[in-house]
Amino acid sequence: MSTELIDLLKKFADIVENYQDKDTIKELVVNLITHELNFAVAGILSIDTNYADNALVTSSDFTLNQAQKILGVSFKSLRFDLNVKENIFAKAFLEKKYQLTNKVESFIPGLNYGVGNLYRIMQSLMNLYGMKELGVFPCFYKGELKGFLTVGNPKKFTPEEIDILNVVANQLAGYLFVADLTTNLGNINLEIKKFNVTLQEKVNEATIELQTKNLELEDRLRKEKDMMDILAHELRTPLSISHNAFIVLEDSIKNAYTQNEKIKNYFRIVEENLKREIKLLEIMLSTTKIDNEKMEIHKVVVDLVEICESEYKFFYEKITQKEINFNKELSEIPLSIFVDKDRLMEIIDNLITNAIKYTNTGQICIRTVVKEGFKGVQIEDTGQGMPRDEIPNLGKKFYRINQHINNDKDAAQTFTRPGGTGLGLYVAFGLTKLMGGTIDVDSELGKGSKFTLWFK
């Protein structure tokens, strides 16, 4: 191969490698062959995804465009069957080698331009450009057919010209592969963008729907909480009236029935149940106020020792009647804290009530504690206790420790939890947080529990 031809092929490579558009690459190759190498006519058939069924031919050279005008046909699309071995394209594909012919009949089998009288058109085209021989050079890239380079020559091809066109066909195959890859990536990116747009639209629709549902749920919960608040107030009033009437009634007739133990027992049952219902309603009312952020806190400076002493006196009889000890370990000096007194007593009442409920033997102790500038009250019992993994869940609304607890280490040690709503501790934790305090819990199954309230 001459130096001039080698330089020409390098020039071709330098020009073509800067482009990734298939039509531009074909334009450059056709110009090289027809203008630089002075062949009569050239065309490129680039293969679509299924080359056995479909191939496309482009006519990017001016002279071929002129031929289309003269003949009145278009060579923009071409369908041919590579399984028809008599066709020169099929032969080039199967043999993976260039093919030369001077017969129009070599193109006809299995090939269709979509126009009538194909033989006459092809013969007219060869006569128009004075083609004595036409070469078909397959373009393979890594064993995959990417297209065909067709070249018309006014004379027979020389071995050197065949070598040149084989090199061009091989280079062209690589560039067509890159062009297809770029197009496919572009299509993929386009599909990804479309998918992202669709996905975003779906996300937006889902977000709007979720927001609407959340607003509806919030409104429904608000109405339910308001109704619970109203219900608690409505129930509280008649119960309070009943309780007050009971006290008046008891005072009025107690002298007449002092010696009647049966009547005295009935009075005790009625009084205890009225107090229990009033306590439950107090908890429900506090729960709804905490949920609706309507709980009013009025902080004042109080003496924690004095409050604990009052609680000790209030619960002493009830605890000792259960035949368990009630001890106190209180500071000898006042411990001032800044809290809502009524709410603090409500919390301590709840903790002591729980201790009574879960303690059958042993003792309950109320003590004051001081640690690192914090002051607190501690309620400790020797009751049933609870598993340590349950402690983090305390204070959650409606949370209850398992009704039945079995200790694997001692099969005989089985506890049955009393009934309840689980709202007592929810209120206790909520009120403590509202007053700026914290609750520490330490408990061991079968050995008891210790609740400590801390305040500044």
Least confidently predicted of 17-21, 165-169, 328-332? 17-21
Q: What is the CA angle 238-241-247, rounded to 5?
A: 140
Least confidently predicted of 3-17, 98-112, 117-131, 378-392? 3-17
Q: What is the DSSP code string of 170-233?
A: HHHHHHHHHHHHHHHHHHHHHHHHHHHHHHHHHHHHHHHHHHHHHHHHHHHHHHHHHHHHHHHH
Distance CA 124, CA 134 (A): 14
Of 266, 291, 316, at which residue does a domain stop?
291
Q: Which two tokens stand for residue 269?
A: 């049952």
Give the 3-state secondary structure of residue 152.
strand
Average confidence (pLDDT) over 281-292: 73
Q: Both 22 and 138 in a single domain?
A: yes
Q: Are residues 89 and 136 in contact, defined by beta-carbon separation less than 8 angstroms?
A: yes
Instruction: Provide the pLDDT for residue 52.
Output: 43
Classify residue 251: in a domain, yes or no: yes
Q: Are residues 441 and 379 in contact, defined by beta-carbon separation less than 8 angstroms?
A: no
**What's the alpha-carbon Rg for the chain, to the nearest Å?**
49
CATH of the domain at 124: 3.30.450.40
Q: Are residues 68 and 41 in contact, defined by beta-carbon separation less than 8 angstroms?
A: no
Task: Give the number of domains in the chain.
Answer: 3
Q: Both 38 and 183 in a single domain?
A: yes
Q: What pTM did the predictor assign? A: 0.46
CATH of the domain at 326: 3.30.565.10
Q: Both 440 and 334 in a single domain?
A: yes
Instruction: Provide the pLDDT for residue 232.
Output: 60
Q: Which two tokens stand for residue 58?
A: 């482009």
Classify residue 198: in a domain, yes or no: no
Residue carrying structure tokens 């309603």: 281
Classify residue 245: in a domain, yes or no: yes
pLDDT digits (tens, 9 = 90+) for 336-365: 999 999 899 999 998 999 899 889 999 999
E strand or H helix at 250, and its extent? Answer: helix 159-253
Classify residue 205: in a domain, yes or no: no
- Which is higher by pLDDT, 406 or 219? 219
- Range of 63-67, 136-140, 218-222, 312-316 with top mean pLDDT: 312-316
Give the domain range for residue 397: 300-455
Q: Both 280 and 304 in a single domain?
A: no
Least confidently predicted of 130-134, 320-324, 341-345, 395-399? 395-399
Distance CA 171, CA 10 (A): 11
* pLDDT > 90: percent of the chain: 22
Q: Both 228 and 376 in a single domain?
A: no
Classify residue 430: in a domain, yes or no: yes
pLDDT digits (tens, 9 = 90+) for 370-417: 998 899 999 999 999 989 888 888 878 766 665 445 545 454 455 544
- Count of beta carbons in the 10 Å neighbourhood of residue 361: 10
Residue ranges in 292-388 assigned as alpha helix (H) = 304-321, 341-358
